[in-house]
Structure 1
């Protein structure tokens, strides 16, 4: 029995040693269990009274050790809890916070990053002066986009004349932001420079579609508009008029924070909008900006697919102005660091709901987010949000500073101590991180990418060069496409003619087609003059009369175009038209003089 007692004592000694070095509550609990089992087994053995007293004494010692272990475990749990609380208060460790899903804050951030105070007085050039846009360092090479992918970009009104530095050959669609909707009437509070901006003509020169973005932000505003059919009808009529006036190609609907109760009303609105636009012009496009997460199950995708040409997922603001933790604005993945929603999950969710890949574009940010934080490591708790810097600002101020990439989110970040000795973190996208996200879009065969916002890289060319690398054809492929297109030039002219007949007012706002029309008039006239001059004496009287009547009609049409030009166009364009007609008259007189003289001979 003495051997048994010695064994118990030895175990108690080992337990004490193991306990001192044990940092795991689970391990300690396991140790306690084994000691209990061994003690019970030992005490229940048949022993003498003296030995029994010895065993009971050891049992008491064992219980004391267990109590100490329980107390220590409790103390450790409290200590860990206090440590975590201190971490949260001090912001030194925000791993838990980074994974917390705050959908309300996430939803709020979407339109906060787009919302600006409307300015009816500040024009394009005023914005240029405010932001000091430059048009000197510009990527000018003309490209041919791969037709299997779309490159969609928003031009916010506050980017003013920054469009003068855009490479429109690398954009398939540009949306002017925005028609700011009055939900009570359907009219616009402001459309900024939509009626006058040269952006429209500049884009169309490179076959880039131009859309008017329509914005309505907030649950109350969306509920009010979507429940008011009169306001919707007024909006649709106003929109069609504005699109016709600029010969635009469609609309981008950007309604944010639509309440779930308005799901059916939103469907009806889109159906009505589509029907009206297609009646006005069959090739009008309807695109829809959708959040990374359908917070209130608003979008009835199977229904909307019949009417929406393109969906643009707003793949940003995962961390931003009201987030408690500093983190990537547009994370591709989350890993064990960031909250579960990311670009990949957002896209997969919408694909599961039924959006065709070819219709789905992933919108990515040309901006970053900056916070004052408790710590330089990530994730870190936020003291305060600082700002949303444009790419151009980050490029200018931190390009030569040490920066890093988060391999999980595929985003860039930069940490530093400011002049007040406060910690700062900036999370952003650059050509390296965007390249990886573009590759992901291509590998997953999505319809393309969206950009919020064009002009945010003004003064730098690397993001344009990246678009060319990822989405443009090679020079050899572009030449082949150009040759193929030249075979169908007649079809393009015919399409232009039908568009002019359908909407003559487009010539007022966009005079470029006037020159094509004048060229056609001049060419047909010269052909008729040549026939009269060369074969007039052989033609029958009726046929000659038809030719003369046709020529007269073309001349009258030309004069009508001149009057339109005189009323609505500048002196430069009018002078071109007048000069062309003068030259045509001179050539006509030179070639027809002999024919007219011979006709008057006795």
Structure 2
């Protein structure tokens, strides 16, 4: 109806302009036209009186200045037509009030949306809704344990079986900082990648507004024990923020340097870029930023991963896929918010298909669009929601028009409050829904995903040979195990397959230890954060040392002088290496740790010399 009124008003204005444009261009009547237009669009009586006064003043001045009869006629004619236009608009307003009354009456009686109403959704509303999901994160700076108390995380019902993931598929999950200690219930063997959310970018400087618990969380160490890659997710929301950052090369350099430092400090594996609402005018700048990011990170460590979160629709034609493919390891399509907080119709958050019921955009069309643009299937992950959406509606049937949006409940809340109440599945969207009356006798609809609906979408991913799935967000299912069991059934190897794979691997892989050595050289602090490799190294050195002591003790008298010289040289080299390690440690450890290292080194040298002195000492022959 608003559009109808706009069209009526515009047609009146256009008509007036068409009738008088040629004459007014050559006379001062153009001022009258502009003044009249202001009169038409003014809602204030005071403003209208002011405009009338200006018309009268102009007319008086024209008379005083002996304006021509033609100009006077134009004034009179324009005034008449302005009155006519105002009458038409008043009539349209009255018509709108009548129609609105009828509409409200219809809503009270019915409220079921027609197929066309459900299918025609404003793309701008979808874009606004889509980009607001992660932006509405809690803003307070609680610590992990505070979030545990707030959300009452539990770790009593946990799926603990260790699995081997199918190497051809990825399972990517975001851990939002407000999920606190929920990671203690994660089955990291079922995750190929976990992204800590988030480094909140300051677009003006490139630094961070907050990184929350990145420097201290035990999530990273827990994930590493199961060979799960850990990424730091970097967020920047809004067109103005993204335009400002992508135009500022100094801020980008600061960001990259800060990011590298944070990744090295926690021995992380890369970054997840989550820039939302990038303006189309920044397309080239975004390409350059990704290229710079890639070259900078991989000059430090070649296997750093760069992943990119992308919207279900490239609203502003930002992503130059052929260029980005050379630098991006994985794209995660954020496949949710097709219906949500500002929808006029209640519907599935993540519909696989649309049929004749839902809006034409869905998960299938989103994936196909990006494949057409050139993203390889193996690099494309489909992100799916572990949450639902709830509305107050005019009807229990669907599609139903919305009275009011209520909330986005996490899976754990839906599972707890409605799972045993009976629910239904929409065959078209492959999503679940539940309808009921609340305590105030209002109609409610909840649309969500569970193990059944997600299972069908996982099957679709596998059948279409995509790279895998993404999860927004881990922890939303805390206290329940079925979604972990679903991941195991869809993406993990069977027990027999896992055993066969394990037999082909060597625990003492040369490549594995070489990779570890390079990582330690790049960041010695790695061994402090994750000391398990350190224990292995010390164990190997201890074993070799004991073997060396035994050989010296048993066969030392048989060693020739050249071997004694080699042993002495080796001891000297070890001492120099130990001193070098101590100086390196000074940069990464506190005084206490360095003291322990130095003390242990000195004691070790003394013990070694005491045991070996008699065998390697030079004696003067008579």
Other-structure match for 2:390: 370
**Residues 401 and 368 of structure 1, relative CA distance in 2, 3 Å threshold:** same
Other-structure match for 1:102: 122
The alignment partner of 1:486 has SS state of coil
**1:516 partnered with 2:536:** yes
Q: Distance in 2 between matches of 1:429 and 1:595?
A: 73
The alignment partner of 1:215 has SS state of strand
**Residues 296 and 546 of structure 1, relative CA distance in 2, 3 Å threshold:** same
The alignment partner of 2:203 has SS state of coil
Other-structure match for 1:92: 111
Other-structure match for 1:129: 149
Partner residue of 1:301 out of 313, 321, 329: 321
**Residues 347 and 91 of structure 1, relative CA distance in 2, 3 Å threshold:** farther
Q: Distance in 2 between matches of 1:125 and 1:552?
A: 49
* Contact 2:339-2:346 within 8 A present in 1 as well: yes
Q: Distance in 2 between matches of 1:282 and 1:381?
A: 53
Deviations 1:398-454 (A, max 9, x none): 111011000000000000000011111110000000000000000000000000000
**Residues 248 and 586 of structure 1, relative CA distance in 2, 3 Å threshold:** same
After superposition, where does 1:18-29 map in structure 2 within 5 Å? none
* Contact 1:120-1:190 within 8 A present in 2 as well: no
More displaced stretch, 114-123 vs 583-592: 583-592
Gapped regions of structure 1 (runs ≥ 5): 1-79
**Residues 354 and 597 of structure 1, relative CA distance in 2, 3 Å threshold:** closer
The alignment partner of 2:401 has SS state of strand
Other-structure match for 1:221: 241
Deviations 1:500-532 (A, max 9, x none): 112223334433332233233323433433443
Deviation at 1:101, TM superposition (A): 2.8
Deviations 1:121-176 (A, max 9, x none): 41000000000001111000000000000000000000001001100000000000
**Residues 149 and 440 of structure 1, relative CA distance in 2, 3 Å threshold:** same
Other-structure match for 2:20: none
Other-structure match for 1:13: none
TM-score, normalization by structure 1: 0.80
**1:550 partnered with 2:570:** yes
After superposition, where does 1:238-253 map in structure 2 within 5 Å? 238-253=258-273
Deviation at 1:102, TM superposition (A): 1.7
The alignment partner of 2:498 has SS state of helix
Q: Distance in 2 between matches of 1:235 and 1:91?
A: 54
Q: Distance in 2 between matches of 1:319 and 1:583?
A: 68
**Residues 195 and 136 of structure 1, relative CA distance in 2, 3 Å threshold:** same
Other-structure match for 2:224: 204
Deviations 1:439-489 (A, max 9, x none): 000000000000000000000000000000000001111112122222652
More displaced stretch, 152-161 vs 483-492: 483-492
Deviations 1:296-342 (A, max 9, x none): 11100000000000000000110111111110000000001100000
* Contact 1:525-1:551 within 8 A present in 2 as well: no
CA RMSD of superposed structures (Å): 3.1
Other-structure match for 1:406: 426
The alignment partner of 1:318 has SS state of coil
Deviation at 1:100, TM superposition (A): 1.1
* Contact 1:518-1:558 within 8 A present in 2 as well: no
Aligned length: 522
Partner residue of 1:540 out of 553, 560, 564: 560
Gapped regions of structure 2 (runs ≥ 5): 1-98
Other-structure match for 1:466: 486
TM-score, normalization by structure 2: 0.78
Partner residue of 2:308 out of 288, 310, 318: 288
**Residues 501 and 137 of structure 1, relative CA distance in 2, 3 Å threshold:** same
**1:390 partnered with 2:398:** no
**Residues 185 and 597 of structure 1, relative CA distance in 2, 3 Å threshold:** closer
* Contact 1:87-1:94 within 8 A present in 2 as well: no
Partner residue of 1:111 out of 131, 135, 159: 131
Q: Distance in 1 between matches of 2:575 and 2:496?
A: 43
Q: Distance in 1 between matches of 2:590 and 2:139?
A: 27
The alignment partner of 2:131 has SS state of helix
Other-structure match for 1:150: 170
Q: Distance in 2 between matches of 1:91 and 1:581?
A: 83
After superposition, where does 1:311-390 map in structure 2 within 5 Å? 311-390=331-410
Q: Distance in 2 between matches of 1:485 and 1:601?
A: 55
The alignment partner of 1:162 has SS state of helix
The alignment partner of 1:326 has SS state of coil
Q: Distance in 2 between matches of 1:590 and 1:368?
A: 70
Other-structure match for 2:88: none
Deviations 1:58-104 (A, max 9, x none): xxxxxxxxxxxxxxxxxxxxxx9999885467661213321013221
Partner residue of 2:520 out of 500, 521, 525: 500
* Contact 1:87-1:93 within 8 A present in 2 as well: no
The alignment partner of 1:325 has SS state of coil
Other-structure match for 1:186: 206
Q: Distance in 1 between matches of 2:177 and 2:130?
A: 18
**Residues 445 and 576 of structure 1, relative CA distance in 2, 3 Å threshold:** farther
* Contact 1:315-1:365 within 8 A present in 2 as well: yes
**Residues 594 and 304 of structure 1, relative CA distance in 2, 3 Å threshold:** same
After superposition, where does 1:426-465 map in structure 2 within 5 Å? 426-465=446-485
The alignment partner of 2:183 has SS state of helix
Deviation at 1:280, TM superposition (A): 1.0
Other-structure match for 2:42: none
